[in-house]
Structure 1
Amino acid sequence: MNKPDFRYKKPEVTTSELRTPVEFYTSKISDGLHGRDVSFEKVFYTFAKVYSPSLKDIEISTGKSMEARMTLKIRDPLTSYQPDNRHFVQVNDHRLENKKWQIIDIRPDYDNRDFLIVVIGGTPND
């Protein structure tokens, strides 16, 4: 007689789900006459699964006086790059304008430790 197996199986993510290219940038003040211009420097490039923010992501962004626009799921780059709240993300999709979004929250994917969840958005006026 076959017994049912109740061991936890982590959800599988295939490469075909990570299909949207995303770029991570740092910002700095440009050298110049006024010192007010901001320049962006690309620090990391990868593919991500892009989807609408969950209620949890929206609640986190509300506490930071920001508005969550998208949630990204990326492979954890480990030591090659660690996302930071001071960094910006550009989602390279023809349906979105080439805008750099602020990172609101970064957390590991608790279902699969090989991935990071990055919530991006901006202030409500953006």
Structure 2
Amino acid sequence: MNRPEFEYKAPPIKTSQFNTPVSFFRTVEDDGPEPGAGNTEQVFDCMCLAYEASNKDRAVLNVNEVKYGLTIKIWDTFGEYDPSTTDTAVLDDRRYLDVKGQPIIWDVISVAHDLENNRIVKIVLGVTR
């Protein structure tokens, strides 16, 4: 008897879906004699797929007491850039501007690498301030 197989297949992700520019920033230590965090510098920019945080992502956001959040996916850079939870991100899109018209500075809350296919990195962003 032939039975259908019900194995889950993830929907394919196409390059054309990555249509929102994102820039990542990292704080670098100041070499001067004064204590302090230092300056922020842009470490990477690319195109991303941005969407509302899922229920699993919202659980992560609630633990970190985030006001509002967003999930993005970027192509895996294979070591060119490894996102860190100390980084910040800015999306270059009119939908991600604050009330003053300035870009929202998102904190990187969580980073999840695609360990099966090594293609995508899922990053959960949030605003805690």
Smaller-chain TM-score bracket: 0.7 to 0.9
Q: Is the contact between residue 75 and residue 116 of structure 1 (CA under 8 Å) also seen in structure 2?
A: yes
Of Structure 1 and Structure 2, which has the larger fraction of its residues in strand? 1
How far did residue 9 of structure 1 move?
A: 4.0
TM-score in terms of structure 2 length: 0.78
Q: Which amino acid aligns with 2:60?
A: I
**CA displacement at 1:46 relative to structure 2:** 0.7
Q: Is the contact between residue 29 and residue 35 of structure 1 (CA under 8 Å) also seen in structure 2?
A: no
User: By how many angstroms is 1:112 displaced?
Assistant: 4.7
Deviation per CA, 1:88-121, whole angstroms, max 9, x where unpaired? Answer: 0000102222122100000024675300110001
Equivalenced residue count is 122
2:23 alignment counterpart:
23
Q: Which amino acid aligns with 1:13?
A: I
Aligned counterpart, 1:80 = 80
What's the % identity of the aligned pairs? Answer: 30
In structure 2, what is the Cα distance between the partners aligned to 1:59 and 1:10?
22
Take 1:110 and 1:79, find their aligned partners in 2: how far apart are those partners? 14
Paired position in structure 2 for 1:101: 106
* Structure 2 residues without counterparts, runs of 5 or longer: 98-102
Distance 2:51 2:10 in 1: 20
Contact 2:105 2:127 in 1 (8 A): no
Alignment correspondent of 1:119: 124
Q: Distance in 2 between matches of 1:30 and 1:99?
A: 25
Q: 1:38 to 1:93 in 2, by over 3 A?
A: farther
- The unaligned stretches of length 5 or more in structure 1 are none
- Please give the per-residue CA displacement for 1:5-38, whole angstroms capped at 9, x wherever unaligned: 6665442111110000000000246689x86686
